Amino acid sequence: MKVYTSAVVIIPPEEKWASIQIIRKKYDRQINRWMPHITLLYPFKPENEYSRFEIEFSEKCKQIQPFEISLKKFKYFPHGKEKYTIWLDPEPNDLIISFQSELLKIVPDCSDVNKFKKGFTPHLSVGQVIGRNKLDKLMSKLQRNWNEVVFSLNQIYFISRGESKTSRFEISKEIKLNG
C-alpha cells in the first residue's frame, strides 16, 4: 500500500532555502504543505512501515557517493488550459534519475512519478502560474534575477504528514549516502 501522506525526497540544506522560499512565498500555493524538495518517490509507504524499508534504503544509499546538485535554470510543466508549474532543474539530472531508479527497485509499486509521458523528471517546484503571457514574463524575470544554488547530496529523507488537508510534511527519517 502507498499513501499520499508520505514521500521520499531530496531536501536542500536549510541555509540554501532563502532565495527559493522568496519565490515560493509569492508563487507556490503548496509552500505551507511542502518544504523545498526534489521528489524521488511519491506517494510512498505509510509512516508506520518506515522501519520495514529503512534497512534496504540504507544499504542502497551506502552504494551511492554523495554528489553536488546545482539549481541554476528554471523550467516549467504545462498542465493544459494555460496552467503551468514552474520549477528549478536540479543538475546533474542523469545521476538523480539513476539514483531514483535504484530506490524504485526496493518499492516498485511507488512508481507514480515515473508514469509521466517523459518519465521521471527531477525538479524542485517553486510555483504555479496561469496564462502563457504571465509564464513567459515570470520565467524571464526569475531567470534574470536568479543566483545559482549548489548543495551536496549527502542524504535523502522519508517525510510524512497527517491526514488533514492543512497538515505539513515533516522529516521522519534521514538516510545517509556513502561518506
| 3-state secondary structure at position 41 | strand
d(CA 171, CA 100): 19
On the question of pLDDT at 40 being above 90, the answer is yes
Q: Which pLDDT does position 117 carry in this prediction? A: 85
**What class has domain 6-176?**
alpha beta
Q: Supply the mean pLDDT for the chain.
A: 96
Task: Give the pLDDT confidence of 131-168 residue by residue, as tens digits.
Answer: 999 999 999 999 999 999 999 999 999 999 999 988 99
Region 61-89 average pLDDT: 97
Quote the CA–CA distance of 135 and 117 in Å, as a whole number: 22
Q: Where along the chain do its domains lie?
A: 6-176
Residue 50 CB-density burial (10 A; 0-12 exposed, 13-18 middle, 19+ buried): middle
